[in-house]
Structures are given as C-alpha cells and as structure tokens.
Structure 1
C-alpha cells in the first residue's frame, strides 16, 4: 500500500513540476513542441528575446554506443527555423527554412544554446 501511495505522490509531484516556470526555463527552453508540415511551434518567446524574422538552428540529441570509451550523447544539426509569429512570453511559431526538423528537436541561436 505504501508503494502505491508513493507512486501516486511522485507522479502528482512530477506533473506539478512540469508546469512550473523552473521546468519551462531549464528543460523546455528552445524545444520544438509541435510540427505541422513546415510550420512549427517552439518554446522561445518574448522572455527569451525572440523576434520575428530571427533564425534558429535545430539540433537533435543523438546516442551512439562506443565500445572503447563508453556511451556517448551529443547533438547534430538537422536544419533551421525562422520565427514568423510571437505567441507570448514562452512560445513562438515559425517555419522550417531548411532541413528535416521534428518535434522535440532543440533550437539554438546562431551564437549557441539559449541562455537564461
């Protein structure tokens, strides 16, 4: 019984944390949350300083098993996205300007990862 209560409590706590400003700033910043054809919605808004016409480079997390050095996690560039509309302080809409960009890819500014 204690195990079930613990699981329910942990699940509830994780759900609450995922909607918090901290979660958004640390884990979601730059993430593409939706793709429909060449249109995308992503987690970069006025709070991050996004502006219409700005272009971001899309990266995808990769995993390669390396027998000599252990496991390797990294990113690879997969395309770019241009901002077309600022939705609010957290989100913007844009179009894929090159490459094959998918949901959960991460957008970096031309200068590198987004900062807080």
Structure 2
C-alpha cells in the first residue's frame, strides 16, 4: 500500500502544472532603488539575473471559511548587480515598487 502511495506522489510531482523555483530569497534592505537580497553564490545567483518580486497579502475572510489565508501579489522585478557574499547580493529595481520582506524568486 505504501509503495502505491509513493508512486502516486512521484507521478503528481512530474505533472505539467507545477513550476520549478530555481532560487528564492527575501528583500532585506531597500534604499533609493538599491536593494539587498538574501540570495547569493550559494543559491546559484549571478550578476545580471532578473528575479520576480512577490508580496504575500492576507486574504480577508471569515475565520471558519476554507481555503488559503494568503495570496501572492506580483510586485515587479529586480536585477542582481553585485554578489558580495555567498548568501547575499545587491540588486536594483527593474519594475514595480519592491519593499523589505517581499520575496524574490527565479522561476524556470
């Protein structure tokens, strides 16, 4: 029975409706369009990469209502301009108005 459950799980992961996140981090600092993001060399970050910025917004609904309590809101894009640590990079705003705590991600 366990083998059947695991086989079904593996098949579900191979389906075409999921996206593959190559890199994900967070905006730690934002000053006049210059950002510090927590993605770096260890994550595979490279200078020139453009990352999507997403903000997680709470959904207003009844506490007993079913479904997600948050939604993803696209905010814009940032470009990595400098890698200064294995875990951190400098970035600049390409589009939108990213803020501290927004998520940055590179999706294939």
- TM-score, normalised relative to structure 2: 0.71
**Out of 80, 84, 89, which is 2:77 matched to?**
80
Which consecutive segments of 4 or more residues in structure 1 shift more than 2 A? 66-71
| Unaligned runs of at least 5 residues, structure 1 | 1-28, 112-116
Cα offset, 1:69, TM superposition: 3.3
Report the number of matched residues. 83
2:61 paired residue number: 66
**Out of 50, 59, 65, which is 1:55 matched to?**
50
SS in 2 for 1:84: strand
More helix by share: 1
**Out of 91, 94, 104, which is 2:101 matched to?**
104
CA RMSD of aligned residues (A): 1.5
1:46 paired residue number: 41
